[in-house]
């Protein structure tokens, strides 16, 4: 009898504990944890044009420091949230990671991340600015002749860094840029003079699938 009473008491305490914790769990839930259920999978191919389409679909959406999840509806779902408050959007390095379909580890192959997948990837702006030999991207020259669309322009300072993708090449040191800009402007398309800014270096993903694939490329 005494054993049963103890069991009942224990279950009652457990119930109280669960009841007490439930509101706390609810308070910890973020927009991202409730809305980001995207999938991901390995791919054999990934073309610049596919990456460009992927990037441009996110224009108008939000920005989230350390984030990676988009709900594609043409606006920032969490404009008033702090920049690392679990809201919508990637940050610039996460946006580049997803657009380039980089694998989480290793240099080879492609990995597709749905926009709704909340993933940032392992690469910081430092990594893009000064890539290790094992990374699947490398520094290149930044003249117009040296770059192709979906290459990136990256800057790194002591307190911040930024990496942005070339959507369409322009002139006079400017280009149409698609990037996860910041919490104010979100993910945007702009004509910006990054190329002509000496703080910026150019970096290119390696091993893009040829645009002509699977046809025979001349």
Question: By CB under 8 A, is residue 86 in contact with another protein?
Answer: no
Out of 38, 40, 117, 174, the only residue in the binding site for another protein (CB under 8 A) is: 174
Q: In whole angstroms, how close is the CB of 39 to another protein at the nearest point?
A: 20
Tell me which of 71, 111, 181, 205 binds another protein, using CB under 8 A. 181
Q: Which residues pair with 190 in a beta bridge?
A: 177
Residue 42 to residue 37: CA distance in whole angstroms: 17
Tokens of 147: 């770059």
Q: Check if the beta carbon of residue 137 is closer than 8 Å to that of residue 131.
A: yes
Strand partners, 78: none
- Produce one character per residue of 46-75: b if its CB has 16 or more CB atoms within 10 Å, e if not: bbbebbbebbebbbbbbbbbebbbbbeeee
Question: Is there a contact between 32 and 118 (Cβ–Cβ < 8 Å)?
Answer: yes
Contacts of 125 (CB under 8 A, 6+ apart): 92, 93, 154, 155, 156, 161, 162, 163
Nearest approach, Cβ of 72 to another protein (angstroms)?
Answer: 8
Q: How far apart are CA 200 and CA 186, in angstroms?
A: 20
**Range 188-217, binding another protein (CB under 8 A):** 188-193, 195-199
Rounded to a whole number of angstroms, the minimum distance from the CB of residue 192 to another protein is 7
Q: Which stretch binds another protein (CB under 8 A): 16-24, 25-33, 103-111, 122-130?
A: 122-130
Q: Applying CB under 8 A, does 30 fall inside the site for another protein? A: no
Binding range to another protein, per CB under 8 A, among 2-10, 27-35, 105-113, 123-131: 123-131
- Site string (97-116) toward another protein, x via CB under 8 A: --------------------
Size of the site for another protein (CB under 8 A): 71
DSSP 217: P
The stretch among 19-27, 34-42, 106-114, 153-161 that binds another protein (CB under 8 A) is 153-161
Contact set for another protein, span 52-81 (CB under 8 A): 52-53, 56-57, 59-63, 65-66, 72, 74-76, 79-81
Of 111 and 201, CB closest to another protein: 201
């Amino acid at each position: 009898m005494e054993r049963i009473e103890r069991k009942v008491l224990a279950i009652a305490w457990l119930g109280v504990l669960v009841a007490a914790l439930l509101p706390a769990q609810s308070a910890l839930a973020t927009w991202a944890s409730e809305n980001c259920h995207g999938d991901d999978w390995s791919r054999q191919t990934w073309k610049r044009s596919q990456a460009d389409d992927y990037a441009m679909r996110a224009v108008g959406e939000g920005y989230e420091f350390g984030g990676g999840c988009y709900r594609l509806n043409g606006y920032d779902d969490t404009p008033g949230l702090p920049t690392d408050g679990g809201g919508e959007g990637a940050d610039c390095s996460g946006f580049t990671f997803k657009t380039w379909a980089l694998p989480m580890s290793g240099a080879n192959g492609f990995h597709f991340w749905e926009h709704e997948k909340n993933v940032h990837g392992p690469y910081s702006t430092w990594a893009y600015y000064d890539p290790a030999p094992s990374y699947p991207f490398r520094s290149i020259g930044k003249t117009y002749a040296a770059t192709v669309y979906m290459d990136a322009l990256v800057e790194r300072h002591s307190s911040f860094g930024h990496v942005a993708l070339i959507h369409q090449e322009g002139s006079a040191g400017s280009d149409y840029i698609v990037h996860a800009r910041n919490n104010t402007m979100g993910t945007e398309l702009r004509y910006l003079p990054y190329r002509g800014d000496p703080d910026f270096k150019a970096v290119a993903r390696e091993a893009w699938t040829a645009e002509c694939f699977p046809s025979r490329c001349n």
